[in-house]
Structure 1
Amino acid sequence: MSGAETHGITFREALGVWARIALLSFGGPAGQIALMHRVLVDEKRWIGEERFLHALNFCMLLPGPEAQQLAIYIGWLLHRVKGGLVAGILFVLPGALAIMALSWIYVLYAGAGPVAGLFFGLKAAVVAIVFQAVVRIGSRALKTAPQRLLACAAFIALFVFGAPFPLVVLAAGLIGFGAARAGSRAFASGGHGPAKDGLPDEQSALGEEMPDHAKGHRTLGMAAFLLVLWLGTVVVLPHGVFADIGWFFSRMAVVTFGGAYAVLAYVAQAGVDHYGWLKPNEMLDGLGLAETTPGPLIMVTQFVGFLGAYRHAGGLDPLLAGTLGGLLTTWVTFLPCFIWIFAGAPYVERLRRNRALSAALSAITAAVVGVVLNLAVWFVLHYWFARLDPGPLALRVPVLASLDWRAVLLSIVALIAAFRFKVGVLPLLAGCGVAGLILSLIPLS
């Protein structure tokens, strides 16, 4: 009998646990991974510590949201393909429904005074959260001088020269891969994931042996079917905003290594500057909404797709077009996550032990520090200043006369709350929202 038939965990029981994880998965990927570790390793004892880290390391090598991919992987280990599908779908479903509802509210009522004031305050919390991400990722990723140099180079390439995000990621990966092949350990990976403080693997329901079904063809067959479904969707889309959304977010799903904030930098660059789907401040609003909902942080992409289709509806009702655009965005963004896991999981051990590939990931992670710093500076400039004039190269020069002192004050308070007093994400968002509502009643001059 296979491992899936002998571990004693029923599919119905797993369904309840995945639903619980989905509803509680706030706090970004770090919080979501910690939640899964606590529930699956410490409480349920379904999977051992080493096995959990094994899966996490594999997911860190992939583009897209590693927390959702980890859920898919463990669901697959427990109940084959149907387990992976259910775990992955439930992980994004609550956030997708919440963002869709909030997107409707945003386009219908964001111009109202109280709602506008609320979003004004949320922007300050987002600024603090993104700078926290810079520090958190940097402290983990920048261990050597070459890594720090690569982070600086990525920031300059994006902020000063306006280099395309995929090009920066590709260059970083090639640098790390080449360095490892040349014998350098400048980008040697130190591993990822929580500390090894869980249960021994022999005490878990799912032991260290790979279940028999991993050697079959059903998992790879499902990966091939989903690949056809994914590519078929974007191929048949009619020319216009829906085709733009389908192709752009499909490309994003392939090249966005480095976590949610790296995704946001890419989406902001294209969605604001290239396609004109939304304004810079609206990108901040979308991130604020995504921070308040469970599920992957890159669910903010649904908000971007919603606004893009809403404003370029053609002959459709704008709200209907926005809804379809948001659903299409979520479909093409998250469907590839299932493909990567189902195609790669049977070969995860071989992939995880590839030193050159691990070095490429490490170099990409270092570059992502520069990417996220660029995103943070971009957010601050568009939040604090009402006007930015073109400067040399790709630089945008703020007009000092357009400075909003309320945004500066609220940002400073949010940064102090986040870094000095370690205020959590949800209390920070709530506090800044209320403060923004109050400050919005005060005129600028």
Structure 2
Amino acid sequence: MGRVSATSLRFNLGQATGWHFGAYPTVSGQAVTVDRALQHATAWACIRLLAQTVATLPLVLYRRGGDGAPAPATSHPLFDILGSQPNADFSDVELWEGVMVHLLTRGNAFLEIERRGDGGVMALTLLHPDLVQVLRDNLGVRHYAYSDPYGPRAGFRRISAEEMLHVRGFGPGGDLGLSPIAFARQSLGIGLAAEESAARIFGTGGTPSGFLGWSKGEEPPTKEQWNQMYDRYFGPDNLNKRPGNMVLLPAGMTFQPIGFSPEDAQMLQSRAFSVEDICRWFDVPPFMVGHTAKSTSFGTGLEQQNLAFLIYKLRPYLRRITAAIRQQLLLPEERSTLFADFNTEDLLQTDSKSRADYYNRMTGGPVMALNEARRKLGLPPLDGGDTVRVQMQDVPIGAPAEEPGAAALENDGEQG
């Protein structure tokens, strides 16, 4: 193994390594880590929405036929690894959900490839990105250093680029994608601080702060007496023990509260802005995480909204994953005929009336056979339903239907 470049060990905002072992400070005073960010409802909802949506889309390995039409490559070992059982411990949904969570928090997802003797893939194992470093030797060859915490291989070990499926998130094109949590730490810190402040107010029963004073004509207490009275009547150990946080002030003492409205106490506007701000970082429409205060520009129907969500929000992640699969999991001689793709048809399903109209048009024209539509609807095939048919027009009522191609065969016979 060549000498490792020392510069590759430096950490920065674009590097996932080391993130778990520390926190980035913010101006708000909140130390933001991945676990801390996930305690914000909006960050949790955005990450969960994107991760679960991608994970539940079927990932299928296709093979191009001689006519160029793709068909599921069910006989290929990678078909089940991608879409059913990637390893002995995880299902495909759990694996790709974990990949998305790592991309959305740390900007990188690492899966160790276990290969057979012929170079084919036998299993995929998701690695925690905080335990992985991307390194290059003095020849510029990339490899990975993994701190394995489990099993007989526990310890620091080297993984070659050929043995690692590395999916990078958004970034400038380097060895690592950028960490969304690290770059969004100020926005997340503001949101966490607002939630914490609101929680403190509710924790005191909404009791406002204020000033303690002394009536005119009364002899004011000494500083020591002030401190004793404050601890006795308003100290945290005593105030919350009183019903309704009510206290009986001694003679001569007055309390002037600092007034604020219930809306100010809950910080509704700042917390609502925090929802929209965090949604911008994760590129999720606010209405999709339950924030419906404003109208959406994603269209008026569910189909249009899902289509926009697929094109502008999900497609970049889907393409990153399938591109990494092509580069790292397929053998060079397989890449011209095999490809992996997510099936997004379920995401674009419309209401029953629109679906019926769609399949009626597709099967009525020379596009889709009847049994193709029935398979998509989960219905059994019909005899003769595998033939693509076309509707006939300007035919007299009662005239017998002519099989497609019959006229052409008749003309060929006359010419012969």
Answer yes or no: same fold by TM over 0.5. Answer: no
Choose between structure 1 and 2: higher strand proportion: 2
Bigger Rg, which one: 2
TM-score normalised per structure 2: 0.23
